Amino acid sequence: MMMKTVNRILQNKPAFVFSVSPHDSVLEALRLMMEKNISALLVVEQGKLLGIFTERDYARKIILQGKSSKDTPIYEVMTPDPCTITALESIDYCMELMTEKHFRHLPVVENGLIIGMLSIGDLVKHIIEDQKQTINQLETYINS
């Protein structure tokens, strides 16, 4: 059986990844997240991945610490140097990594370039589709 990789999921997603600059305000980031209906943004400067900013960062580092979303730059509250994967990683490995480290998002980087972002939702959706396909194949086999 062929190992299923991140590349397979990325093929079904838009190639564009939303990001902010480290000097953008938290409020600007939240507006973008709301507008695009996403829960994480990459923090990028001159094409280099510096960090990730998530709803969880907002809850823990802004709201709970009484900081102002308007006056706080992203670099103060982002998660720096996020764990990344390549498009060749197995889907199983990504599931293990996300579960073990309590991540919900993994940036996909190839040769220093950001080529995508994988969410826990992407993985779950893929696994469900994969299982449906397996069930259909088994039903076809049984009925033939």
Query: How far is 99 from 4, CA to CA, in rounded Å?
Result: 18
Nearest in space to 42 (alpha carbons), one of 15, 79, 72, 14: 79
The per-residue pLDDT for range 62-118, each reduced to its tens digit, is 988 889 999 999 999 999 999 999 999 999 999 999 999 999 999 999 998 999 999
Query: How far is 51 from 84, CA to CA, in rounded Å?
Result: 10
Mean pLDDT on 127-133:
88
What's the chain's average pLDDT?
A: 93
User: pLDDT band at residue 14, thresholds of 50, 70 and 90?
Assistant: confident
Q: What is the SS3 assignment for 15-37?
A: CCCCEECCCCEHHHHHHHHHHHC
Task: Say what the pLDDT of residue 63 is.
Answer: 87
Mean pLDDT on 129-138:
89
Tell me the HSE value of 107 on the side-chain side, using a 13 A CA sphere: 28
Whether the predicted model's global pTM rises above the 0.85 cut: yes
Task: Say what the pLDDT of residue 2 is.
Answer: 60
Q: Where are the domains of the chain?
A: 6-143
Task: Say what the pLDDT of residue 131 is.
Answer: 87
Superfamily of domain 6-143: CBS-domain (3.10.580.10)
